[in-house]
């Protein structure tokens, strides 16, 4: 299984913190933010990772992580010249990983889960590593779902649509920034059209799988946060502190 770690974007919601550095290099408790999703991938047994970074701070990522050997992995870098969306960033990994299923994680996502939950997720990753088809999303129940992609469920709790940042969310579950994709992901990205934000949206990518009946989901137990706003950064820092102080934590 190959990993994709996304460290691009402008991080404008965290101004002025992001005026002089990339959001994913900001400290979250005792580590740079990017370490947490990277360590999550490592905990799932993923050894080969592409880090997609914006051109302004690509050198800073390389200075921090090098080739990944200090962490026991291999890191390759791809540059996203402009912040054109999550799906666009995933598409940049195609020349290297085009024949591989992918585990994709956003660089501001932090998970704190126990060993049982990690084992469950690893088993799903292993099925994708063995050539499973489709897309797998990982959901979490949150207080303010309107900031995220929100799944709409039918009576059987099956996802029938994913709405991007809805004003009136139809559920309290959100799509976290951790995704599994099969090898069709690159062809799907090529067919996407830019949104009103002039970006290729990951929600549109996920809905392309859904329309073909090739999307499944798992509800994650444990703690999760992104760090895209000051409030979520504060929450992520609290989770990171719990991780550092909890010796039995797996990530």
Residue 251: inside a domain? no
Give the percent of the chain with pLDDT over 90.
Answer: 92
Average pLDDT for 118-136: 96
**Whole-number pLDDT of residue 247:** 54
Q: Which residues does residue 27 pair with via DSSP β-bridges, in sequence order?
A: 32
Instruction: Say how far apart CA 241 and CA 49 lie, in whole Å.
Output: 26
For residue 11, pLDDT over 90 is answered with: no
User: 3-class SS at 158?
Assistant: coil
pLDDT tens, position by position, 29-79: 999 999 999 999 999 999 999 999 999 999 999 999 999 999 999 999 999
Phi, psi of 138 (to 5 degrees): -120, 120
Residue 21: inside a domain? yes
Average pLDDT, the chain: 94
Residue 79: inside a domain? yes
- Structural domain including 158 reads 2-245
Residue 201: inside a domain? yes
For residue 145, pLDDT over 50 is answered with: yes
Residue 233: inside a domain? yes
**Whole-number pLDDT of residue 250:** 46
Per the structure, the count of domains in the chain is 1
For residue 98, pLDDT over 90 is answered with: no
Of 10-19, 191-200, 227-236, which range is least confident? 10-19
Residue 75: inside a domain? yes
User: 3-class SS at 139?
Assistant: strand
For residue 113, pLDDT over 90 is answered with: yes
Average pLDDT for 193-210: 95
For residue 152, pLDDT over 80 is answered with: yes
Instruction: Give the model's confidence band at 251: pLDDT under 50 very low, under 70 low, under 90 confident, else very high.
Output: very low
Rounded to the nearest 10 degrees, the angle between the axes of helix 230-245 and helix 35-43 is 50
Average pLDDT for 118-137: 96
Residue 72: inside a domain? yes
For residue 248, pLDDT over 70 is answered with: no
From residue 89, alpha-carbon distances to 4, 56, 121, 202, 234 in Å are 9, 15, 24, 10, 26
pLDDT tens, position by position, 157-194: 999 999 999 999 999 999 999 999 999 999 999 999 99
Instruction: Give the model's confidence band at 198: pLDDT under 50 very low, under 70 low, under 90 confident, else very high.
Output: very high
Average pLDDT for 227-238: 96
Nearest CA-CA partner of 47 in 10, 82, 9, 75: 75
Of 5-19, 93-107, 200-214, which range is least confident? 5-19
Of 22-26, 73-77, 183-187, 247-251, which range is least confident? 247-251
Instruction: Say how far apart CA 172 and CA 84 lie, in whole Å.
Output: 27
> Which residues fall within 8 angstroms of residue 174, CB to CB, at 6 or more apart?
139, 140, 141, 142, 145, 147, 148, 149, 150, 151
Residue 250: inside a domain? no
Q: List the CATH number of the domain containing 84.
A: 3.90.550.10
């Amino acid at each position: 299984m190959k990993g994709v770690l996304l460290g691009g974007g402008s991080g404008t919601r965290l101004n002025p913190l992001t005026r002089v550095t990339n959001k994913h290099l900001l400290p979250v408790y005792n580590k740079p933010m990017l370490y947490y999703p990277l360590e999550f991938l490592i905990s799932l047994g993923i050894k080969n990772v592409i880090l997609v970074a914006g051109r302004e701070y690509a050198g800073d990522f390389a200075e921090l992580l090098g080739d990944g050997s200090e962490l026991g992995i291999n890191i390759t870098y791809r540059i996203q010249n402009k912040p054109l969306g999550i799906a666009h960033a995933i598409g940049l990994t195609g020349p290297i990983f085009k024949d591989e299923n992918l585990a994709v994680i956003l660089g501001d996502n932090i998970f704190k889960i126990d060993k049982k939950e990690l084992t469950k997720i690893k088993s799903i990753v292993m099925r994708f590593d063995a050539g499973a088809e489709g897309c797998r999303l990982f959901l979490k129940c949150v207080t303010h779902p309107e900031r995220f992609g929100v799944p709409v469920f039918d009576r059987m709790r099956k996802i029938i649509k994913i709405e991007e940042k809805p004003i009136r969310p139809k559920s309290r579950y959100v799509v976290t920034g951790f995704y599994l994709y099969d090898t069709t992901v690159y062809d799907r990205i090529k067919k996407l059209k830019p949104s009103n934000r002039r970006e290729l949206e990951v929600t549109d990518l996920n809905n392309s799988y859904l329309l073909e009946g090739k999307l499944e989901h798992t509800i994650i137990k444990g703690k999760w946060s992104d760090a895209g706003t000051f409030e979520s950064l504060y929450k992520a820092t609290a989770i990171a502190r719990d991780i550092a102080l909890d010796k039995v934590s797996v990530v």
